[in-house]
Amino acid sequence: MESTRKITLSENEIPTHWYNIVADMPNKPLPPLNPGTHEPIGPEALAPLFPMELIMQEVSQERWVEIPDEVREVYKIWRPTPMFRATGLEKALGTSAKIYYKYEGVSPSGSHKPNTAVPQAYYNMKEGVKRITTETGAGQWGSALSFACQMFGIECDVYMVRISFDQKPYRKMMMQTWGANVYPSPSERTNAGRQILAQDPDTPGSLGIAISEAVEMAAMHDDTKYSLGSVLNHVLMHQTIIGQEAIKQLEKAGADMPDYVFAPFGGGSNFAGLALPFIHKNLTEGTNIRCIASEPTSAPKLTRGIFRYDFGDTVGMTPLIPMYTLGHTYVPAKIHAGGLRYHGAGAVVSQLLADELISAEAIDQLETFEAGITFAKAEGIIPAPEANHAIASVIRAANQANAAGTSPTILFNLCGHGNFDMLAYEDYFAGKLQKHEMTQAEVNAAVEKVDTPTISSVQAMLAQM
């Protein structure tokens, strides 16, 4: 049965609950801090930005959180998503490794992002919210939230990182088709945007800057809330339907549990969605599944950043979060993997990395595009630039297995297709993409600007409370 090419599930096998790994973590993530007082904040501090049900999920200690029927009904548009045995890629690599991928590109917006956009829009609708503001990098998150808001009758304002706004016009058009308003970030619409533009009128923008703008607009209007596509606990939790389905599909195919699980890493939702249910098996069943995050060498927060409290946005409007970070003022290079151009990582995945329950590797953009093209030729699907990072990691692992004479089972998240990212491929074929890796001097300069509480100081403070 292991030769099965495509592994599908029925609608009644869509998970009924999201998995909250906090319940199983040996060391729980440290609490967010008030940026002014540096004291732990409670749920009430998040109320101006999020509906209360999402806040309760953010601080929940429950292992399983029920998925509302209305959300599962919208999920049925594209879920369960298929899993494939990558026999074409295996042949192309000449490997005896067994490679599988979970394909999230079948969603309406073409990526994994609607898995959390739909419940976020639903809970906002239930609370009477009229408008949601958000940020987007490559446009995957913005298009997903635009779709979700349309499903539940909510207006949507998207602040799109300027470099992606210019590079990816069709993503912008997708959002507009679903009724969203899309603004290049930084913009003149917000104090945060005007402040950044005054410092650098030609800035390419960053996710951190776009977050500042979206948060500012939500905080200024009573009928408006903010929505985030990664980083926060509830966002990562919503994505765990990916890994839950993947486990069922591997079992259905009679396949072994994977030796390696790979997924791209920006803020954490992509990686967490696939990996956390497998880490649950490690923590509760004693399995030894290696879960590895693939990040860009242009934004290597996991592999070269520091574990410290930092802001999720550039201007410093969000609570302080314990994260692996390059510093909230760091603006990544203009790589095409816009969804991975972020300075920090979510608290949950950061704690898992600190506890060595996951690992990470950084890959240059040229290697990722070479991997994506190899995959497209072998499997037919043109991957999003973000997804290419995981594919590059898979190829590395398969080549290492070949050299060692082993035959591991490898699973990765093909988180989205690249059909709206063809400018990136055009630039690659034209030789316009350059190998880019942060120098140690650049890393040092970035992290030296982080002037926020250390992990150890907060641990000491909490011990005295």
Burial class (CB in 10 A: 0-12, 13-18, 19+), 281: middle
Angle, CA 346 vertex, CA 155 and CA 211 arms, to 5°: 35
Identify whether 389 is part of a domain.
yes
Question: What is the spatial distance between Cα 70 and Cα 188, in angstroms, rounded to a whole number?
Answer: 38
- Over the stretch 35-54, which tens digit does the pLDDT of each residue have? 989 999 988 888 999 999 99
Identify whether 418 is part of a domain.
yes
For the segment 418-425, the average pLDDT, to the nearest whole number, is: 90
pLDDT tier, 244 (very low <50, low <70, confident <90, very high otherwise): very high
pLDDT at residue 331, as a whole number? 77
pLDDT at residue 207, as a whole number? 81
Identify whether 48 is part of a domain.
no
pLDDT tier, 307 (very low <50, low <70, confident <90, very high otherwise): very high
Identify whether 33 is part of a domain.
no
Q: Is 337 left (phi over 0), alpha (psi -120 to 50) or beta?
A: beta
- Residues facing 135 on adjacent strands: 159
Quick one: tokens of 346?
């979510």
Identify whether 225 is part of a domain.
no
What DSSP string describes 12-46?
GGS-SEEE-GGGT-SSPPPPPB-TTT--B--GGGG
The pTM is what?
A: 0.95
Identify whether 30 is part of a domain.
no
pLDDT tier, 335 (very low <50, low <70, confident <90, very high otherwise): low
Identify whether 117 is part of a domain.
no
- Residues facing 101 on adjacent strands: 84, 412
Of 200, 196, 158, 199, the closest CA to residue 176 belongs to 158
> What CATH number did the domain enclosing 350 receive?
3.40.50.1100
Of 14, 5, 11, 10, the closest CA to residue 245 belongs to 14
Question: What is the spatial distance between Cα 49 and Cα 52, in angstroms, rounded to a whole number?
Answer: 9
pLDDT at residue 255, as a whole number? 93
Q: What is the CA radius of gyration of the chain?
A: 20
What's at 158, amino acid-wise?
A: V
pLDDT at residue 2, as a whole number? 46
Angle, CA 120 vertex, CA 115 and CA 123 arms, to 5°: 130
pLDDT at residue 118, as a whole number? 98
Of 123, 103, 170, 100, the closest CA to residue 142 belongs to 170
Q: Listing from the earlier edge strand, what are the strands of the sheet with 6-7?
A: 6-7, 83-85, 98-103, 409-414, 260-264, 290-296, 359-363
Identify whether 179 is part of a domain.
no
C-beta of residue 71 within 8 angstroms of C-beta of residue 118: yes
For the segment 65-91, the average pLDDT, to the nearest whole number, is: 98
Instruction: Please tell me the total count of domains within the chain.
Output: 1
pLDDT tier, 330 (very low <50, low <70, confident <90, very high otherwise): confident
pLDDT tier, 1 (very low <50, low <70, confident <90, very high otherwise): very low
Peptide bond into 80 cis (omega under 30): yes
Largest distance between two CA atoms of the chain: 61
- Over the stretch 218-240, which tens digit does the pLDDT of each residue have? 999 999 999 999 999 999 999 99
What's at 325, amino acid-wise?
A: T
Please state, for a pLDDT cut of 70, what percent of the chain lies above it.
98
For the segment 147-166, the average pLDDT, to the nearest whole number, is: 95
- Over the stretch 115-132, which tens digit does the pLDDT of each residue have? 999 999 999 999 999 999
Beta strands in 318-408 (DSSP E): 320-325, 359-363
Q: Structural domain of residue 77, as residue ranges? A: 6-15+65-109+238-464
Q: How many CB atoms lie within 10 A of CB 334?
A: 17
Q: Is 109 left (phi over 0), alpha (psi -120 to 50) or beta?
A: alpha
Whose tokens are 């040996």? That residue is 26
